[in-house]
Amino acid sequence: MNQYDLNLILNPSLSTEQIQTEKEYIENAVRGAGAEIAKLDDVGNRRLAYAVQKEREGYYLMYTIKAQGNPESTIAASLRLRDHVRRVLVVKDRPEWKTKKA
């Protein structure tokens, strides 16, 4: 299985219940694609570098997932259809990024 980083930016004005609902939907979408969640980093509200849909802040969720095949086409496509999801990024984790150069 390959390891991927799944990064999402949600609407910053969501309530705690709405954020929990979005997290559950994301977990179901990941499991439905045959992947498993290894780690979740719930960063919270942060300022964006540029406005996205006239919002200057976003609620960040960063998942580490393990999946076979290409999760970009399955997971990200279904998450982009959600109203509260502003951005989705799936990046394959490569071991050479974690090594220190001499």
Q: What is the pLDDT along the chain (102 residues), one digit of tens a residue?
A: 888 999 999 999 999 999 999 999 999 999 998 899 999 999 999 999 999 888 899 999 999 999 887 777 888 889 999 999 999 999 887 766 666 665
pLDDT on residue 61: 96
pTM for the full predicted model = 0.85
Residues 6+ apart with CB under 8 A from 16: none
Q: Which domains does the chain have, with CATH numbers?
A: 2-93 (3.30.70.60)
Residues 6+ apart with CB under 8 A from 43: 60, 61, 62
pLDDT on residue 94: 72
